A = this chain, B = another copy of it.
Amino acid sequence: MNDTRIRSVGHRAKVMSAEDAALLIAPNTTVGLSGFTASGYPTAVPLALAARIEAEHLAGRPFKLRIWTGASTGPELDGALAKADGIEFRLPYNSDPTCRDKINRGQMEYFDMHLSQVAPAAWQGILGPLDTAIIQVTGICEDGSLIPASSVGNNKTWLDRAGQVILEINRWQNPELLGMHDIYYGAALPPNRVPIPLIHPGDRLGEPCFRCDPDRIVAIAGHLLEFLEHEVRKGRLPPSLLPLQSGVGNTANAVLAGLIDAPFDNLTAYTEVIQDGMMALMDSGKLRLASSTALSLSPDLSESVNRRMGEYRDRIILRSQEISNHPEIIRRLGVIAMNGMIEADIYGNVNSTHIMGSRIQNGIGGSGDFARNAYISIFMSASTAKAEAISTIVPCASHVDHINQDVQVIVTEQGLADLRGLLPKQRAKVVIETCAHPVYRPMLADYHQRALAGSYGLQTPMLLNEALSWHARYVATGSMAVSG
């Protein structure tokens, strides 16, 4: 152990192995873990916990946990615990394929929440008690305060609420990270809520470290594994690497990187994750500063950003996700929201979560926090999926996460539809003509024409017997297209 990371003498006495820390977690309890995207999440304790669960199961003893995080995490956490069949309940967002499969088979419970509402709901008590917090930090100060890692998420709330706290030290992350975070302790439940005094994206409201009562810490597990090595070892990335998945996704990432050559300067960001595209924009000098709850970078970029962390500390601010996603701030700042989607219907209702209406993909994540309160709310997707077997523009969304009032711009590779100020029938015309793939455009136009003639009402024309027929046809035949 390198003591420069653990400056509190009291904490040094509590260092233990990941395996011993895992023994502190009882079956049928609730565990709150750090992590917001594959960033700042513990790995050693969850892997040891997964091994313990597998051993218990082999011995015929049931062992399941309720898992709370910030958002998605990585394979050593969600993936390992799900493969060990150790998760009975998961919130508030998931992108792990093993979890997704179990959820859609009905073998794991999944509570898909607006990200900004998780911490208040935990304080309100409607989620039940939190038994254990497992939080990745990059160091412990002499006074016991905790230096956060590369994401903040719900960590402040888990630390405040948990019955016991297990810390993992990430020794790979550069100590220069200290000072990048802004941990706001001013949130409260009503009637004691006050204005969150954030007026500019760069305002700092709080403290650089988490407060944590040392008496509540029962274990500290060191963690030195390099991010790149983890990813490669799990077979999730080839040795040459690929970008990490995130709620925001590759399309948004590419859009951000594209801003480098655009005639804009002095940009700022107020977002939930900082991805590669945003870092490229920052390195180009175009992006002046960025506020988020997590750095969610590709392994390659993580390495280089970590080396130069001191250069970024004044330009990046990491906040709790109830602040990064807070409607008050998003509305005040007038954020331009750019989110991916699964499908949009011709009226601009967007499905972000459920494939064919029932099969969950990831979750609503922060998209509902941002889309409704944004100054301009943009949704993006390719116009087709599965080799054109699926049209992402459909007559009727099979599940609605973002109602038409919250969707102002839709973009596909076919074009951009600016729906601001347009009425339902106008929206349909523009969406079909601008965003739909040529293979599906005539089918959509035909549906809409017939709906205009045969709908029960004409404000938002709809053919009830056909509205979901494209999805039913896909499930039955493997394609939304009518075979000719």
Residue A471, interface by CB 8 Å: yes
Indicate whether A457 sits within 8 Å of B354 (C-beta atoms), given known contacts A113-B405, A328-B328.
yes
Asked whether, in the complex, the Cβ of B423 is within 8 Å of the Cβ of A457, the reply is no
Asked whether, in the complex, the Cβ of B334 is within 8 Å of the Cβ of A189, the reply is yes
Q: Which residues of B contact A128 (CB under 8 A)?
A: 421
Q: Which residues of B contact A471 (CB under 8 A)?
A: 464
Q: Which residues of B contact A457 (CB under 8 A)?
A: 104, 354-356, 358-360
Asked whether, in the complex, the Cβ of A332 is within 8 Å of the Cβ of B194, the reply is yes
Asked whether, in the complex, the Cβ of A333 is within 8 Å of the Cβ of B459, the reply is no
CA separation between A109 and B472, bound complex, in Å? 32
Residue A364, interface by CB 8 Å: yes
- Interface stretch of the complex, out of A222-230, A242-250, A393-401: A393-401
Asked whether, in the complex, the Cβ of B460 is within 8 Å of the Cβ of A405, the reply is no
Closest B residue to A106 by beta carbon equals B458
Asked whether, in the complex, the Cβ of A327 is within 8 Å of the Cβ of B334, the reply is no
Asked whether, in the complex, the Cβ of B190 is within 8 Å of the Cβ of A375, the reply is yes
- Interface stretch of the complex, out of A24-32, A77-85, A196-204, A285-293: A196-204
How many chain A residues sit at the interface, stated as a range, is 35 or more
Residue A420, interface by CB 8 Å: yes
Q: Which residues of B contact A191 (CB under 8 A)?
A: 200, 333-334
Asked whether, in the complex, the Cβ of B403 is within 8 Å of the Cβ of A460, the reply is no
CB within 8 A of A423: which of B111, B332, B458, B469?
B111
> A471 → chain B, closest Cβ, in Å?
5
CB within 8 A of A468: which of B197, B373, B401, B464?
B464
Indicate whether A472 sits within 8 Å of B468 (C-beta atoms), given known contacts A110-B423, A113-B405, A458-B358.
no
Residue A357, interface by CB 8 Å: yes
Asked whether, in the complex, the Cβ of B475 is within 8 Å of the Cβ of A456, the reply is yes
Residue A193, interface by CB 8 Å: yes
CA separation between A451 and B425, bound complex, in Å? 32
5 residue pairs of the A-B complex, CB under 8 angstroms, read: A117-B405, A190-B375, A357-B464, A358-B461, A464-B475
